[in-house]
Chains A and B, each alone.
Chain A
Amino acid sequence: MSGKRKRQDTSELQNNVFNGGREVRMYINCMVNINTEDNEDTSDSESSDIDEEDIEDVSDDEYEEEDDSNEADSLDEDDTDEENEQHQEDNEENCDTKAKNKQHTRSDRDSGIDDSPNDKEETTEDKYKLFKSKATRRQISKTKSTSDKDTQECSQDPEIPDEYEEDSSDEEDLRNTIGNVPLKWYDEYPHLGYNLDGKHIIKPKRGDTLDNFLNRIENPDFDRTVFDKQTGQDVRLSDADLDIVKRVMSQKVPDASYDYYAPWIDHFTYEVMEMPLSGRTDSKKSFVPSKDEAAYVAKRAEQIRRGLIQYTHKREKKYHFYDLWSDKKRLRRIHDPMPAPKVKLPGHWFSYNPPREYLPHFNKPFGSLREVPGYKHFIHECWERCIDLYIAPRKRVLRVNASSKDLIPVLPKAQDLQPFPTMEGLVFKGHRSIIRSISIHPLGKFLASGSDDQTVKIWEISTGRCLRSFDIEAAVKWVAWNPSSKLFLLGIVIEKKVIFLNPETYLTDKVVVKQTNAVFKEEPDQGDYIQPERVRTAVTWRKPTADEWAKGYRIVIDHFRSVKQIVWHKQGDYFATVIPQGDHRSVLMHQLSRWRSQVPFNKCKGLVQAVQFHPKLPFLYVATQSHIRVYNLQKQRILKKVQANCRWISSIAIHPGGEHFLISGYDCRLNWFEMEYTKRPRILRYHKAAVRCAAYHRKYPLFASASDEGRVIVSHGMVYNDWLKDPFIVPVKELKGHKMFEGLCVLDVTWHPYEPFLFTSGADATIRLWH
């Protein structure tokens, strides 16, 4: 605290005493005191070079005495140095600042002013106050008993007070020489700022934790000492300080003597004075009645008279009920009104005491009605309903009120459509791998099967015995019996070859076998026939070697690329082979008797999937991926192009009547086409997986289809001569028996030529007969 300010304070204090505003002043004083204490403390160690000692021991009863001494001091002041601030002294004995430090401060100059002899009598009260403030200041160093010396110095020169006022050197400057900077900047140094001589002010010693601890025990004032950050000193708070702190903390006025209930001095009176301040006379306007107002009143009166304004009208009630629907008139309504759907009525679930099974997790129902609490979402639900009523868009929706059974079509009973295979008859076991293809001899006695285990087996149908097994050099892709009754010949497809085999067994008709052998002994005479270039490069007919002949081979036809299928014409002389990668040569026609081949098509029309001969007419059905083309072989032109309604055709089967054909596809569908009207096939969605193949029975109105899901479905497919009548198709039996193997199940389906028997070959290396 600067001395200057202090001086002001005291002078103000003086003034206030006279002005009666002393409470406020007191408060300020107290605040000042706290500040000064801090500063004084800092200066304690720093200003050790200051030789004046200013120790006072003051008690309340000694105040007058002290005043005198102050006066005396003021006289001595001249010969001491120029410093006009307060001087403190550091008791040398007390190195430990906290407990034993006795500081005595006083503002000598102030007291000098105060105690000017002229004012002395009048200002006793004031002095008393002043003294009090001093006393508080002094209580910083309160150990009264030890104070002996009472040397006070007065740095006051009553004649030239202005000099000090202008002096810039402050008390604060001395105490806090580092300015307003954080103390931690001096952490690394032993000193703390500089004194007037430019020398270090050494930091006061601070004890370690042990000292701290000892101090705590020894020092009775430990709990009221405070560390001053700015000076690095410990400050002991006096009782008055503590009191102030307490009062401030409890949000009271710091001064204890402040009177809250002092009488209020009203500076301005509310009473109206009787005498006017000015002597002006009133204007005429103020006492002559207004014409404007008169006109207004007249107007209103007129309006009221006419009934234009009604000040007293009866108010209608908002709700007044009467028979609203008494008349028959119809008002306009909103366009196309849709009544809101009613709220769903509750089931047993919502009962307060439902049957036990409706309660979740065996909860107990409410034992009686009185235990049922209010439903907490009631308002919310009501509100939601309101919201729904006005904001939810409304729409008419058709709701089906039917059971699923009503949708199932009523089919004729399967029993009425017999015969058809109903159960598994025989299982032909013997192959060791997937059986790709099976074929039945046209006389219905033998069954040939070709498998991935590189064998072709001949089975007797009636017993299920394997009659012969031929080892072929590669996996067999296709087998097909020659339909001619004069030949006993089996066509086999492996890789790029087509082999004709005479699978003679001890059960076969020996005459036929001999005849067959005889036919193929000699190569037919080609005459002057020259094979065209593109045929020669595609196909080569050759006689088998001696070993192969012994094995049963009769003819071997090498193709330029791998062959997929071989299809016989019904007479048994012609056959077609399918080479899917053969481009324009993907379908080849061959003549067995003359060892000749032909390439019927000049252009590639897509990836050929399957080929089939018409059972009666010289037509060839060629199925590419999504189209079927029917060619007239005699006239050598295309007869029909059919969109298959199928993404990828797997096989084609032609009805023995020739008017219908069946397309099976890898997209799970079967399509039944009529030759006359191919635009809209009958789609049969029997299967849920790719349909591998389908086949018609030659005699009975039956057809079967096999899919990868493992089901073979036998259907009744009656065709009528009247072509206006649609074919009558009823699925009659679902056959299951084959096991899945590597995602494949049933691979080939064939009907017995004249019995209602069905043969299926599967990926589980078995052939099954269903009868």
Chain B
Amino acid sequence: TRDGLLLLLLLLLLCFSTKMAGIKKKKGEAGEVKKYITRNAAVKKLQLSLRDFRRICILKGIYPREPRHRKRVQKGDSKIKTLYFLKDIQFLLHEPIIWNFREHRAFMRKMRKAWSRNDKQKSRKLCTQKPFYKLDHIVRERYPTFVNALRDLDDPLTLCFLFSKLPAIHRTPLATIEMCRRLTIEFMHYVIEANALRKVFISIKGYYYQVEIMGQLITWIAPHPFAPRNDTHIDFKIMKIFAEFYITLLGFVNFRLYHSLNIHYPPKLQDMVKSKGKKNRNEIISEHVASLNAPLLRNKVDDDDEEDGIDTHLLDEDTDQLQAAREEALKKKKQQCLFKGLKFFLNRETNLESLTFVIRACQGQVSWDESTAEGSTYPVTDESITHEIVDRPQKTQKYLSRYYIQPQWVYDCINARILLPVQEYFPGVTLPAHLSPFTLETATTTALYVPPEKKKLEALQKGDLPLDQLQDVEDSEDEDSEDEEIKESETTVEENKDKKCDVELEEIEEVKEAVQNPSIEKMAVHEGSEVIVKKSEKNRREKEETRLSVMMIPRKQKRLYRILRTKERKEAEKVVRLTNKRKIIDEKEKQKKKKSRTIENSQKRSVVKI
């Protein structure tokens, strides 16, 4: 009995001890781990194939997340896995589109069976019942408000513009391409009607357009007007899924945009198109729409000349900001009707679509030769044409009433928001540099390199430079700069001398004072003289001070300081490099000019002699 009691006691003790210790926490059951799920686990959970999973992720806009502690989340595994939020995957579980995927799989099975049995009748019948899915609800879900959709429009536009240029082959089916083409043209029509174009940039990649719609800046790239080079490495399936979603999104956005301007959607032309030849009327209409050169049918266009549209109540206190905002709004307005009253004629070698879009978005009138494309409005012979855009060295200029200019002028004007002088853009002339409107640097900020062209442009915009006397000013500027350089070099030499003599000079002065002191023995208050601290000395002192205060930066910020410092230094180096390069180039050009001038002069002389 005693032994039994002892045993009981022991058991009780054991129980206690286990209770006291509590249940052991297991790894990977709480905390950050529970937030994430790996891709494989997600696929398993959704009971989808990997391909379908990819499709649904793209359509629903679900992307992997970077955890804060990867190792902790992956239960000690440090190699990189694709991790999704568990909540996102759970969210996917309720997606009705998954059922469409399953239907599609069943359909494909039937189809394959029919094919393999060579049962054409059945396969034809099946084809008519091919399941498909609609993405409307996903668009609505991903973009709860219209502005959200606008904010995310960069990628859709770029992809659609690309797709509209692709050839219709198996991997890029005709239906998708036509849809993309249609939607991009509709969007461009909207931009034209709303005068929403803000910036244009011709890069080696393509044409960048920036438009402002409802306060959102949307930028996209349209490729150069050539068939894009095929890349065999690319998996077009992914692009196709994206295109599918983007088409839906863009369609809804277009619909909404058109309705905001009271324009018919799908677009209709204002004027009746005369059908000539055997072409189908619808075809002709669609071609005219695609030419971007016809106004669209609009319901009850009421000219609502609102005031600036600035939220003044927010800026009330800050008068400067208000002023700036007002000025900006004014400039925008000017930009919107930049080409108003101008008539352009495009030669056939120019990029018709881009130029038409850009000019019409700034309220200009455009036409081209009838034979080049559909949609021309007036012929070359029209005397009221003000600008003819030419992109080749043309010798003969038939009409004196118009300027013959290169296409860059149009784009530069839009970026500068003023009509630039035409002289520099004549055909055959070396064009001035085409600057990117997206860079932030201005002449006032010193940290970044500002190309001289930009400085000139800013001066033009401010009205400092008269538009007509451009070249003269340039020359004088050059001379000035030379003079300045010489001066600068002199001053630097002086400074160097100063540095060396600094210490000695001070000593000498002291000695002099000592010598002079005995002569001034009378106690009197004399007029003090300003102590002139030399520039170099001042600089040196400042530098030392900064060095000392840098030592006092707390350690936590020191690393950041170093990073910032290196970044700044690199930036500064870049500026120096670019300025130097520019200097060399300018000098070379100057020498060339001189040579050509001397040659001309000598020729003249020889002519005179003869």
Find out whether the CB atom of B204 lies under 8 angstroms from the CB atom of A369.
Answer: no
Please measure, in the bound complex, the distance between the C-alpha atom of A404 and the C-alpha atom of B552, giving whole angstroms: 14
Is B83 in contact with chain A by the CB < 8 A criterion?
yes
Q: Note all chain A residues with C-beta closer than 8 A to B497.
A: none
Find out whether the CB atom of B235 lies under 8 angstroms from the CB atom of A383.
Answer: yes
Find out whether the CB atom of A393 lies under 8 angstroms from the CB atom of B224.
Answer: no
Find out whether the CB atom of B553 lies under 8 angstroms from the CB atom of A323.
Answer: no
Find out whether the CB atom of A370 lies under 8 angstroms from the CB atom of B201.
Answer: no
Is A720 in contact with chain B by the CB < 8 A criterion?
no
List the B residue with the shortest CB-CB distance to A356.
B585
**Which of A395-403, A452-460, A501-509, A536-544 binds B?**
A395-403
Which of the listed residues A318, A362, A414, A683 has the most CB atoms from chain B within 10 Å of its own CB? Answer: A318
Least CB distance from B141 to A in Å reads 4
Please measure, in the bound complex, the distance between the C-alpha atom of A320 and the C-alpha atom of B248, giving whole angstroms: 8
Least CB distance from A177 to B in Å reads 63
Q: Note all chain B residues with C-beta closer than 8 A to A319.
A: 179, 247-248, 251
Q: Note all chain B residues with C-beta closer than 8 A to A348.
A: 433, 435-436, 439, 451
Which residues 347-377 in A have Cβ within 8 Å of B in the complex? 347-348, 350-358, 362, 365, 367-370, 372-376
**Which of B59-67, B110-118, B321-329, B523-531 binds A?**
B59-67
Find out whether the CB atom of B132 lies under 8 angstroms from the CB atom of A379.
Answer: no
List the B residue with the shortest CB-CB distance to A318.
B132
Least CB distance from A662 to B in Å reads 16
Find out whether the CB atom of A346 lies under 8 angstroms from the CB atom of B82.
Answer: no
Find out whether the CB atom of A391 lies under 8 angstroms from the CB atom of B204.
Answer: no
Interface size class of A (residues with CB under 8 A): 35 or more
Find out whether the CB atom of B223 lies under 8 angstroms from the CB atom of A358.
Answer: no
Is A267 in contact with chain B by the CB < 8 A criterion?
no
Please measure, in the bound complex, the distance between the C-alpha atom of A343 and the C-alpha atom of B220, giving whole angstroms: 10
Please measure, in the bound complex, the distance between the C-alpha atom of A333 and the C-alpha atom of B202, giving whole angstroms: 38
Least CB distance from A416 to B in Å reads 12
Please measure, in the bound complex, the distance between the C-alpha atom of A368 and the C-alpha atom of B404, giving whole angstroms: 14
**Which of A16-24, A95-103, A105-113, A324-332 binds B?**
A324-332
Find out whether the CB atom of A409 lies under 8 angstroms from the CB atom of B228.
Answer: no
Interface size class of B (residues with CB under 8 A): 35 or more
Least CB distance from B537 to A in Å reads 12
Q: Note all chain B residues with C-beta closer than 8 A to A383.
A: 231, 234-235, 238-239
Q: Note all chain A residues with C-beta closer than 8 A to B226.
A: 373-374
Find out whether the CB atom of A372 lies under 8 angstroms from the CB atom of B239.
Answer: no
Which residues 201-224 in B have Cβ within 8 Å of A in the complex? 201-206, 208, 219, 223-224
Least CB distance from A668 to B in Å reads 12
Find out whether the CB atom of A352 lies under 8 angstroms from the CB atom of B231.
Answer: no
Is B551 in contact with chain A by the CB < 8 A criterion?
yes
Q: Note all chain A residues with C-beta closer than 8 A to B452.
A: 355
Q: Note all chain B residues with C-beta closer than 8 A to A731.
A: 548-549, 551-552
Please measure, in the bound complex, the distance between the C-alpha atom of A339 and the C-alpha atom of B151, giving whole angstroms: 10
Please measure, in the bound complex, the distance between the C-alpha atom of A339 and the C-alpha atom of B150, giving whole angstroms: 13
Find out whether the CB atom of B65 lies under 8 angstroms from the CB atom of A395.
Answer: yes
Which residues 389-411 in B have Cβ within 8 Å of A in the complex? 391-392, 406-408
Least CB distance from A355 to B in Å reads 4
Find out whether the CB atom of A378 lies under 8 angstroms from the CB atom of B391.
Answer: no
Is B158 in contact with chain A by the CB < 8 A criterion?
yes
Which of the listed residues B137, B224, B578 has the most CB atoms from chain A within 10 Å of its own CB? Answer: B224
Find out whether the CB atom of A321 lies under 8 angstroms from the CB atom of B568.
Answer: no
Is A322 in contact with chain B by the CB < 8 A criterion?
yes
Is A386 in contact with chain B by the CB < 8 A criterion?
yes
Please measure, in the bound complex, the distance between the C-alpha atom of A394 and the C-alpha atom of B434, giving whole angstroms: 35
Please measure, in the bound complex, the distance between the C-alpha atom of A358 and the C-alpha atom of B435, giving whole angstroms: 11
Find out whether the CB atom of B252 lies under 8 angstroms from the CB atom of A352.
Answer: no
List the B residue with the shortest CB-CB distance to A311.
B125
Is A546 in contact with chain B by the CB < 8 A criterion?
no
Is B91 in contact with chain A by the CB < 8 A criterion?
yes
Is B270 in contact with chain A by the CB < 8 A criterion?
no
Known contacts A357-B581, A391-B63: A380-B231 contact under CB 8 Å: yes
**Which of B13-21, B40-48, B281-289, B554-562 binds A?**
B554-562
Is B499 in contact with chain A by the CB < 8 A criterion?
no
Q: Note all chain B residues with C-beta closer than 8 A to A380.
A: 231, 233-234
Please measure, in the bound complex, the distance between the C-alpha atom of A410 and the C-alpha atom of B546, giving whole angstroms: 9
Is A306 in contact with chain B by the CB < 8 A criterion?
no
Contact code string B261-284 (vs A, CB < 8 Å = 1, else 0): 000010000000000000000000
List the A residue with the shortest CB-CB distance to B453.
A355
Find out whether the CB atom of B144 lies under 8 angstroms from the CB atom of A333.
Answer: yes
List the A residue with the shortest CB-CB distance to B142.
A333
Which of the listed residues A323, A356, A381 has the most CB atoms from chain B within 10 Å of its own CB? Answer: A356
Find out whether the CB atom of A355 lies under 8 angstroms from the CB atom of B134.
Answer: no
Q: Note all chain B residues with C-beta closer than 8 A to A115.
A: none
Please measure, in the bound complex, the distance between the C-alpha atom of A367 and the C-alpha atom of B408, giving whole angstroms: 11
Is A334 in contact with chain B by the CB < 8 A criterion?
yes
| Contact residue among A324, A332, A346, A393 (Cβ-Cβ distance under 8 Å from B438) | A346
Find out whether the CB atom of B549 lies under 8 angstroms from the CB atom of A391.
Answer: no
Please measure, in the bound complex, the distance between the C-alpha atom of A353 and the C-alpha atom of B409, giving whole angstroms: 12
Known contacts A330-B144, A407-B560: A379-B162 contact under CB 8 Å: yes
Contact code string B3-17 (vs A, CB < 8 Å = 1, else 0): 000000000000000
Least CB distance from A733 to B in Å reads 8
Least CB distance from B173 to A in Å reads 12
Find out whether the CB atom of B64 lies under 8 angstroms from the CB atom of A394.
Answer: yes
| Contact residue among B251, B391, B436, B560 (Cβ-Cβ distance under 8 Å from A350) | B436
Find out whether the CB atom of B585 lies under 8 angstroms from the CB atom of A357.
Answer: yes
Please measure, in the bound complex, the distance between the C-alpha atom of A390 and the C-alpha atom of B64, giving whole angstroms: 8
Please measure, in the bound complex, the distance between the C-alpha atom of A380 and the C-alpha atom of B553, giving whole angstroms: 46
Least CB distance from B142 to A in Å reads 7
Please measure, in the bound complex, the distance between the C-alpha atom of A320 and the C-alpha atom of B179, giving whole angstroms: 12
Q: Note all chain B residues with C-beta closer than 8 A to A346.
A: 201, 203, 205, 208, 436, 438
Please measure, in the bound complex, the distance between the C-alpha atom of A19 and the C-alpha atom of B404, giving whole angstroms: 90
Least CB distance from A741 to B in Å reads 25
Least CB distance from B512 to A in Å reads 19
Please measure, in the bound complex, the distance between the C-alpha atom of A403 and the C-alpha atom of B565, giving whole angstroms: 8
Which residues 513-565 in B have Cβ within 8 Å of A in the complex? 544-553, 555, 557, 560-561, 564-565
Please measure, in the bound complex, the distance between the C-alpha atom of A393 and the C-alpha atom of B85, giving whole angstroms: 11
Q: Note all chain B residues with C-beta closer than 8 A to A337.
A: 61
Which residues 562-580 in B have Cβ within 8 Å of A in the complex? 564-565, 568, 578-579
Known contacts A334-B91, A369-B406, A403-B564: A354-B65 contact under CB 8 Å: no
What would be 26 A-B contacts, judged by CB atoms less than 8 Å apart? A315-B128, A320-B134, A322-B252, A322-B255, A325-B145, A334-B62, A334-B85, A348-B435, A350-B201, A351-B203, A353-B408, A356-B585, A372-B202, A374-B224, A375-B224, A378-B205, A380-B231, A386-B238, A389-B242, A390-B238, A411-B548, A414-B545, A685-B555, A730-B552, A731-B549, A732-B548
Known: A351-B433, A373-B224; 16 extra A-B contacts, CB below 8 A, are: A322-B252, A325-B146, A333-B142, A335-B87, A338-B65, A348-B439, A351-B202, A369-B408, A370-B350, A372-B202, A383-B231, A391-B82, A404-B568, A407-B560, A411-B545, A734-B544
- Residues of B whose CB lies within 8 Å of any CB of A are 54, 57-58, 60-66, 82-83, 85, 87-88, 91, 128, 132, 134, 136-137, 139-142, 144-146, 149, 151-152, 154-155, 158-159, 162, 179, 201-206, 208, 219, 223-224, 226-231, 233-235, 238-239, 242, 247-248, 251-252, 254-256, 259, 265, 349-351, 391-392, 406-408, 430-431, 433-436, 438-439, 451-453, 544-553, 555, 557, 560-561, 564-565, 568, 578-579, 581-582, 585
- Residues of A whose CB lies within 8 Å of any CB of B are 315-316, 318-325, 330-340, 342-343, 345-348, 350-358, 362, 365, 367-370, 372-376, 378-383, 385-387, 389-395, 400, 402-404, 407-411, 413-414, 683-686, 713, 730-734
